[in-house]
Amino acid sequence: MLLDAKFTNIGEWKAILQAIGDITEEAMFICNQEGITFRGIDPAHVSLLDITFPKSSFDFFDCHATFFGISVTDFKNILNSAANEDKISLAIDSPHKMKIEINGGLQMKYDLNLVERSEVNTQIPTVNATSKISLSPIILAKIMANIERVSESVTISSIPEKIQFLGSGNIGKAQVDLEKNNSELSSLEVIEDSSSIYSLEYMAKIIRNIGKASNRVNMEYGSQTPMHMLFEMPSMTKVEYYLAPRIEN
């Protein structure tokens, strides 16, 4: 058996597959005794998603070192048939097929054809962070939604006393300020004043997809540097997202 795994954190898997689907149609996973990992970059090379499902996030996990690919849409559609309180089993005993069992109100079994694997060697970008922020993903999603009403990008600026989100477009401007003592802001650490612009098409989407299944989001960035986002999940699953800054003339 190449892979034998059981898990119940179905809401996390659904949210993560949704985010992976925004990066690529076919996802390549690396599996070993430590867990399952995915790393992928979008076709425009603007964003990178780095996922680790550690062994501790599973109810049962056994895997020999292997590498497998799946159609994200097909895998997502199968998992969407499960309720969040169900139990899911994944098994791979050949390089060509994954067996999926969903146990709950109904007992469902699927065979999912695996796709031909391709080698991946995506490098993690360097982030020279001068500001670090931690807040609720629900609040962050609300902030992004408000900026999206008028703009396609968001300027995030931080000083020791506050962080500011600003967007502007043809219909006007939107601005949201969070003071350091705001109860919604868990922490704000500013080494030096920082400001950078990011595409809302990418940033708002990942916050909506992963944020709904996470407890907290930690962001770090500098002036005109990539944004690094670490989502704290209820299980030990690790979700990291990197977004290149938007350079405007």
Q: 121-168: per-residue pLDDT in tens?
A: 688 888 999 999 999 999 999 999 999 999 999 999 999 999 999 999
Per-residue pLDDT tens digits for 217-226: 999 999 999 9
CATH of 131-243, one of 3.30.70.2340, 3.10.580.10, 3.10.150.10, 1.10.760.10: 3.10.150.10
Which residues fall within 8 angstroms of residue 229, CB to CB, at 6 or more apart?
A: 206, 207, 217, 218, 219, 240, 241, 242, 243
The model carries a pTM of 0.93
Low-confidence stretches of the chain (pLDDT < 70) are: 117-121, 249
The percent helix, strand, coil of the chain (3-state, each to 5) is 20, 45, 35
The class of domain 3-113 in CATH terms is alpha beta
| Domain locations in the chain as residue ranges | 3-113, 131-243
